[in-house]
Structure 1
Amino acid sequence: MIDPATLFAELTIAFNQHAWAKAQALAVRLLPMAPRHPALHYMAGVAAMELQQMPKALAHLHQAADLDSGRVEFVTQFAKALTLGQMPREARLAADRAMALSPTDPATFDTLGVIYTQTHAHAEAAAAFRGAVALNPTHAPYHFNLATALLATGEIESARSTLETCIDIDPCYWKAHLTLAQQRRQSAEDNHIERLHSILKGRDADLKAQTYLHMALAKEYEDCGDYPTAFTHYTRGKSAAGAGRNYDIAQDEALFAAITAAFPAPQASPGGCPSDEPIFVIGMPRSGTTLVERIISSHPDVHSAGELLNFGLTLKRHSGSRTSPILDLDTVHRLQGPDWKKVGEDYLASTRPGTAHKPRFIDKLPHNFLNVGWIARALPNARIICLRRDPMDTCLSNFRQLFAAQSPQYGYSFDLLDTGRYYTLFDRLIAHWQRVLPGRILEMHYEALVDSQEASTRQLLEFCRLPWHDDCLRFEDNKAPVNTASVVQVRKPVYRTSLQRWKKYGAQLNELQELLNAAGIAIPS
């Protein structure tokens, strides 16, 4: 019989060498001998998490955190597993437990900062990242993560300074260059174009460098008014970012068709959960959803919960689907007979403790436009606001934006014409929702908000059944964190410079315009 101490030593070596399969096998052999050994559960849990075996990871890490609740790394990894297991409420509570244990390791602080970011607790994320930077001030990723948290909390100048520090430490930390370019309007006299070109030399084979540096150059050339050069860099950056993704618009066409077929006729209101807490703000990304969120959440009765995946995750659990995507054909086909009241209740519970501090909250996940029919069934008193924007500006803005690499929802955005095709699917789906759910959706045009801010704001508040409040006209003073691509813009008053931006690109957008025209989509003159 092999000595348990020898097995434990082998396990420790395998764990430290990140030999996860071996570590898991050794832990499985040892646990029957010591079923309440917290370190064994910890190493078994981390190994399972790295092997993407989330039920096992959660079970073991929960045990480790309970058996030795004073070990900050045990509680931190449990919080991480909860995040990966798509349980944001529980992850936030576990992260709070870990922070209360006063970490002394920069990697632990950084992990907690990421967990807080993913659970929309941006002030807490900034505090955690500051802890990581303080303990290891020469590690560029810690500075970058801190900068993103500072942007979310509105500390823009500090974020810029932190990004420059990140680049000073590691000029090849590519993401920092794009983030820095996006934080202010560059000028011909003050920009980073020369530095970006210099760093880009000799990086033809580095897709990440090509992605972030070309996108940064595109933004800075656009700010300087050189639109042809900007478009060239956007195209190169998006081509590099999309390399190897093999996106096929046919997959999205099939998904939209299945969703439409699931709601063939006008829907009677089911039982559902009667709460009127949620206000869903939906629409194509980059269409003004963040602006509307900031306007409404400036009301003292409204909390901004951010872009929550919670409704889709709740649907997924109730569907019984075991496929990987949150929403796919299998999930749609299985959503035939859930208890819709329970779906609504579970969704609301999943938003705690972030919500319930105020009477209403905003869930601003743009792609919830896919879920509108199910939202209407589960939450018949929820308000749904859909943002619309000039189709050409919407498509161009999606193409100009580098969305989160890990998100499966933005595959269309790496090609301008695919973006136009996806917009067509969106446009037809919203028209379908208006037919089968009459009166449930307020369509708000971004251009109307810009041209008639007060009248549009009154319309928004009336639709949400909220009394008038003057603070909603001063949304730029809203101190709530924001973590979207509009993080800088929404801290300024309404401005007109983004209206009909597409016309500045001229003939470079002719094919997109022809595609939209052929689909019968009206383009404002």
Structure 2
Amino acid sequence: MKDLHTSATEARQLDEAGRLLEAKSYQEAHALCLAVLNANPGSARAYYLLGVMAADHGGHRKAIELFDRALAIDGQHSGALTQKARSLIARLERSQAVDMANRAAALQPEDPFTLVTLGVVFSRAGLHERAVPFYAAATAARPDDPAFHYNHGAALQFIGRMDEARKAYEACVALAPNNTWALSALTQIRKQTPDDNELPRLEAAFEATSADADDALRVGHALAKAHEDLGNADDALDWLKKAKAAKWAAIRYDPAADEALFATARHLAGALRGKSGQAGPAPIFIVGMPRTGTTLIDRILSSHSLVTSGGELADFGMALKRLSGTQSNKVLDQETLAAAERVDLSALGRTYAESVRSTLGLEGRFIDKLPLNILYAPAILAALPDARVICLRRHPADTVLSNYRQLFATRFPYYDYAYDLEACARYYVGFDRMVAHYSEVLPPDRFRQVRYEQVVGDIETETRALLDFCGLEFEPACVSFHENTAPVATASSAQVREPLYTRSLARWKRYEAGLKPALDILEAAGCLDPDERSPK
């Protein structure tokens, strides 16, 4: 049924509730919506606004209920459809979210809030090309909103339209000079030089915003990158330490939880040995620690005519979580990972395959390059008998440094180790022991380690070997990966559009003095040859 008659008074109340909601005056907005519903229980808009408030506070289950009530009254409410999609994607229910967003988009909404939210939903679903026109329309409708310009710029960056991305980021900074998201992005997508760099703007922004731990992270990381570009290794490390200090102090990182995950994964490698689900799709999983070349290998393989990149997908972990029935509030924890030993492996493989097919249309040979899938490798190979897992390895010291240098999503706790240099080194040690065990237990025709340095040193030989491992014929386009125009939504989105370079090899040597505590840990664990270090 449609909305019941709304009086002029109720319309004014809802208009005011909308303004209060935009100003984050939630209590007053909530009261007005309830007043309208007491007088008129058939107000779809009141339920819609209440749903937005619930979602803003992280109550996405409740928000979905409220959006459903709005849609029961008005099934063509594009705002309710869009915001329901937002809550679904926040709950990692990507297939349903994309379906809901497509329904909303078909109604051709013009409201800028709805438009930008559609962009966010499609971006989070990995559909960056689809997201761009919605961000563009939202920005055109509301050109004075810096966040709209930033979101537009990020989507443009992911699909390789770098000049347009820079313009969008600059438009954001023009409206909000201390917008740490845009300032960081501007620094990351271009090399800083003595004559043209962001240091003055970044230093001013750090002074103005560093009381907030997340702002300090973004600006401090950008300052570190700028100093690195300028050849100031000591200054770069100093800025990283400043950037991470408040966040490291605030989080509750538990190294024992990571070690428990590594131990459980090692156990699974043996427990699932010889077990198999039903034959089906043959995805290629590219895994490992972040910043070790996973995106490079993704670009090489997805340049093949028979291979499509799906980006970093959480679908396998979500499928295991659903089938395991574990009650924890995390997708990945020791209990859920251990449950892979008892779930129906065929059902696990089917659930994963259907998820990526229904949302992204991926069938045949496709790549899933979520680095964290390394923990699921034994379950992946058991549930998907035709899958291949490629694990990237990089020099231990470069791996630790690259993870410490990387600004990961602050809402994603699995990379909390990266806030502290010594924690990075200890995490690497646990990872290294796990992968060494995998190499002894997992089938070598389906699990392969690849050395980043070897790929950089001889790309054609390594590419041929990788293609052979995946059962694919060699194609010259694979060694011209930088010409691949597919979207890249990772920290390497700018670098992988360049021809292969060697400047990141042995980067740790430039920082060796400052890395001493981490290098000591690696050496003591047998991960680093002491002869590689400079004389003490």
Alignment TM-score, normalising by the size of structure 1? 0.91
- Residue 67 of structure 1: CA displacement? 5.1
- Tell me which amino acid in the other structure corresponds to 2:397: M
What are the superposed Cα offsets for residues 332-372 of structure 1, whole Å, 9 maximum, x if unpaired?
34444211111110101111245455621100000000111
Q: Map residues 112-151 of structure 1 onto 2, 5 A cutoff.
A: 112-151=118-157
Who is 2:402 aligned against? 397
2:331 maps to which of 315, 326, 331: 326
8 A Cα contact 1:144 1:163, kept in partner: yes
8 A Cα contact 2:10 2:36, kept in partner: no
Q: Map residues 330-345 of structure 1 onto 2, 5 A cutoff.
A: 330-345=335-350
- Residue 420 of structure 1: CA displacement? 0.5
8 A Cα contact 1:266 1:436, kept in partner: no
Who is 2:422 aligned against? 417
Taking the aligned partners of 2:370 and 2:474, their CA distance within structure 1 comes to: 25
- Tell me which amino acid in the other structure corresponds to 1:282: V
Who is 2:284 aligned against? 279
- Tell me which amino acid in the other structure corresponds to 1:291: L
- Tell me which amino acid in the other structure corresponds to 1:18: Y
1:352 maps to which of 354, 357, 377: 357
1:427 maps to which of 426, 429, 432: 432
The DSSP-based 3-state class of the residue aligned with 2:390 is strand
- Tell me which amino acid in the other structure corresponds to 1:394: T
1:484 maps to which of 480, 490, 493: 490
8 A Cα contact 1:420 1:516, kept in partner: yes
The DSSP-based 3-state class of the residue aligned with 1:70 is coil
Given the alignment of the two structures, is residue 437 of structure 1 paired with residue 442 of structure 2, yes or no? yes
8 A Cα contact 1:150 1:158, kept in partner: yes
Taking the aligned partners of 2:214 and 2:60, their CA distance within structure 1 comes to: 29
Who is 2:259 aligned against? 253
- Residue 227 of structure 1: CA displacement? 0.8
2:386 maps to which of 381, 388, 392: 381
- The runs of 5 or more residues in structure 2 that have no matched partner are none
Percentage of identical aligned residues: 39
Taking the aligned partners of 1:54 and 1:142, their CA distance within structure 2 comes to: 23
Q: Map residues 233-244 of structure 1 onto 2, 5 A cutoff.
A: 233-244=239-250
8 A Cα contact 2:393 2:450, kept in partner: yes
8 A Cα contact 1:215 1:237, kept in partner: yes
Who is 1:18 aligned against? 26
Alignment TM-score, normalising by the size of structure 2? 0.90
Taking the aligned partners of 1:27 and 1:196, their CA distance within structure 2 comes to: 47
Taking the aligned partners of 2:424 and 2:338, their CA distance within structure 1 comes to: 26
- What is the alpha-carbon root mean square deviation over aligned residues? 2.8
1:316 maps to which of 321, 344, 349: 321
Alpha carbons of structure 1 residues 51 and 503: separation in structure 2 relative to 1, 3 Å? closer
- The runs of 5 or more residues in structure 1 that have no matched partner are none
The DSSP-based 3-state class of the residue aligned with 2:190 is coil
8 A Cα contact 1:303 1:361, kept in partner: yes
The DSSP-based 3-state class of the residue aligned with 1:371 is helix
Alpha carbons of structure 1 residues 315 and 23: separation in structure 2 relative to 1, 3 Å? farther
What are the superposed Cα offsets for residues 225-277 of structure 1, whole Å, 9 maximum, x if unpaired?
1111111111111223434112121221122223333444570132x131233
8 A Cα contact 1:11 1:23, kept in partner: no
- Residue 199 of structure 1: CA displacement? 3.4
Deviates more, 1:189-198 or 1:456-465: 189-198
Deviates more, 1:446-455 or 1:257-266: 257-266
Taking the aligned partners of 1:23 and 1:368, their CA distance within structure 2 comes to: 45
- Tell me which amino acid in the other structure corresponds to 2:76: G
- Tell me which amino acid in the other structure corresponds to 1:367: L
Taking the aligned partners of 2:497 and 2:82, their CA distance within structure 1 comes to: 33
Deviates more, 1:37-46 or 1:249-258: 37-46
- Tell me which amino acid in the other structure corresponds to 1:186: Q
Alpha carbons of structure 1 residues 62 and 407: separation in structure 2 relative to 1, 3 Å? same
Who is 2:237 aligned against? 231
8 A Cα contact 1:20 1:48, kept in partner: no
What are the superposed Cα offsets for residues 140-175 of structure 1, whole Å, 9 maximum, x if unpaired?
111111110011010111111221121111111112
Taking the aligned partners of 1:316 and 1:361, their CA distance within structure 2 comes to: 22
The DSSP-based 3-state class of the residue aligned with 1:507 is coil
Taking the aligned partners of 1:309 and 1:254, their CA distance within structure 2 comes to: 21
8 A Cα contact 2:50 2:66, kept in partner: yes
Taking the aligned partners of 1:79 and 1:18, their CA distance within structure 2 comes to: 21
Taking the aligned partners of 1:10 and 1:147, their CA distance within structure 2 comes to: 36
2:200 maps to which of 186, 194, 198: 194
8 A Cα contact 2:272 2:382, kept in partner: no
Taking the aligned partners of 1:301 and 1:23, their CA distance within structure 2 comes to: 56
Taking the aligned partners of 2:513 and 2:106, their CA distance within structure 1 comes to: 58
Q: Map residues 295-314 of structure 1 onto 2, 5 A cutoff.
A: 295-314=300-319
The DSSP-based 3-state class of the residue aligned with 1:201 is helix
- Residue 21 of structure 1: CA displacement? 11
Who is 1:520 aligned against? 526
Taking the aligned partners of 1:263 and 1:522, their CA distance within structure 2 comes to: 25
Taking the aligned partners of 1:315 and 1:376, their CA distance within structure 2 comes to: 13
Taking the aligned partners of 1:401 and 1:170, their CA distance within structure 2 comes to: 24
Taking the aligned partners of 1:518 and 1:332, their CA distance within structure 2 comes to: 29
8 A Cα contact 1:24 1:44, kept in partner: no
Given the alignment of the two structures, is residue 159 of structure 1 paired with residue 165 of structure 2, yes or no? yes
8 A Cα contact 2:178 2:209, kept in partner: no
Who is 1:469 aligned against? 475
Alpha carbons of structure 1 residues 71 and 146: separation in structure 2 relative to 1, 3 Å? same
The DSSP-based 3-state class of the residue aligned with 2:287 is strand
- Tell me which amino acid in the other structure corresponds to 2:284: I
The DSSP-based 3-state class of the residue aligned with 1:362 is strand
8 A Cα contact 1:265 1:436, kept in partner: no
The DSSP-based 3-state class of the residue aligned with 2:298 is helix
What are the superposed Cα offsets for residues 195-238 of structure 1, whole Å, 9 maximum, x if unpaired?
32233335553434432222111111110111111111111112
Alpha carbons of structure 1 residues 255 and 10: separation in structure 2 relative to 1, 3 Å? farther
- Residue 39 of structure 1: CA displacement? 4.5
- Residue 5 of structure 1: CA displacement? 8.6
- Residue 42 of structure 1: CA displacement? 3.6
Taking the aligned partners of 1:252 and 1:166, their CA distance within structure 2 comes to: 38
8 A Cα contact 1:449 1:457, kept in partner: yes
Taking the aligned partners of 1:522 and 1:395, their CA distance within structure 2 comes to: 12
Alpha carbons of structure 1 residues 418 and 11: separation in structure 2 relative to 1, 3 Å? farther
- Tell me which amino acid in the other structure corresponds to 1:325: K
Taking the aligned partners of 1:159 and 1:434, their CA distance within structure 2 comes to: 42
**Count of residues paired in the alignment:** 519
Taking the aligned partners of 1:193 and 1:359, their CA distance within structure 2 comes to: 47
The DSSP-based 3-state class of the residue aligned with 1:291 is helix
Who is 1:210 aligned against? 216
